[in-house]
Amino acid sequence: MQTAPETAPLSDTLLDSDPFARFGDWFAQASATEPSDPNAFALATATPDGRPSVRVVLCKFWDARGFVFYTNLDSRKGGELAANPFVHMDFHWKSQARQVRIEGRAELVPDAEADAYFASRPRVSQLGAWASAQSQPLPDRATFDARLAEVAARFEGGDVPRPPRWSGWRVVPERLEFWQDRDNRLHERVVFTRSGNGWTTGMLYP
């Protein structure tokens, strides 16, 4: 992994700062250098009996309230989140030799927020949300294509409303770790942990 462009020690730039401001700085730099999807992150969930599952999804919005992604609520991750809302996120930006690990609790976004985002999606993506029984067995691709054609005909000439079982989850962070690659695996790690209305900070060994 290449060494990131920032040379100042993280302890000089992170310990007294807002974790969301730091995330914004890192995200902006990654957006300028990552070849695709700088907003992609690995999302880890778990079943009620503790079996983990992970997949890569896209963060569609973030601010000091948390990090938002969208999905079919009846998908595997939707079912796991409904049963156990605690998650772990990992943004990995190879071009910057950085990652941000986020632990928190997921909660559904308000309907108005989900409606507004769904309306902004390309029409084919909107139709796909209706056609896909996400994570359920699919006998063949032709079945999905037929479902897509059916919903395209159903909504032809009008707006596509948000499906009732499609919405967004906001991960409200309780802990954020900023990881910076250094030569010879002498990496730097700074952790922010929520404490009341603020954050406590500290460093971790590589």
H or E element: which one contains 178?
strand 166-180
Residue 145's φ and ψ, nearest 5 degrees, are -60, -40
Q: Indicate whether 157 belongs to any domain.
A: no
Q: Indicate whether 149 belongs to any domain.
A: no
User: Vertex 12, ends 6 and 14: CA angle to 5°?
Assistant: 85
| Number of domains the chain contains | 1
Q: Give the single-character DSSP code of 172.
A: E
pTM of the model: 0.90
| Token pair of 129 as six digits | 């949300």
Share of the chain above pLDDT 70, in %: 92
C-alpha to C-alpha distance for 85 and 155, rounded to whole angstroms: 34
Annotated catalytic sites, by residue? Answer: 185
Q: Indicate whether 1 belongs to any domain.
A: no
The 3-class SS string of 52-108 reads EEEEEEECCEEECCEEEEEEECCCHHHHHHHHCCEEEEEEEEHHHCEEEEEEEEEEE
pLDDT at 5: 52
Binning the chain into helix, strand and coil, the percentages to the nearest 5 are: 30, 35, 35
Q: Indicate whether 108 belongs to any domain.
A: yes
Q: Indicate whether 46 belongs to any domain.
A: yes
Query: pLDDT-derived band of residue 2, with 50, 70 and 90 as boundaries?
Result: very low
Q: Indicate whether 134 belongs to any domain.
A: no
User: Vertex 63, ends 61 and 177: CA angle to 5°?
Assistant: 100
pLDDT in tens, 171-199: 999 999 999 999 988 899 999 999 988 99
Q: Indicate whether 130 belongs to any domain.
A: no
pLDDT at 9: 65
Q: Indicate whether 79 belongs to any domain.
A: yes
pLDDT in tens, 146-160: 999 999 999 999 999
What mean pLDDT comes out for the span 74-100?
96
109 neighbors 172 (Cβ within 8 angstroms)? no
pLDDT at 197: 87
pLDDT in tens, 109-138: 999 999 999 999 999 999 999 999 999 999
What mean pLDDT comes out for the span 29-36?
95
Task: Find the CATH number of the domain harbouring 17.
Answer: 2.30.110.10
Range(s) of the domain holding residue 79: 10-119+165-204
179 neighbors 100 (Cβ within 8 angstroms)? yes
> Which SS3 state, helix, strand or coil, does residue 42 take?
strand
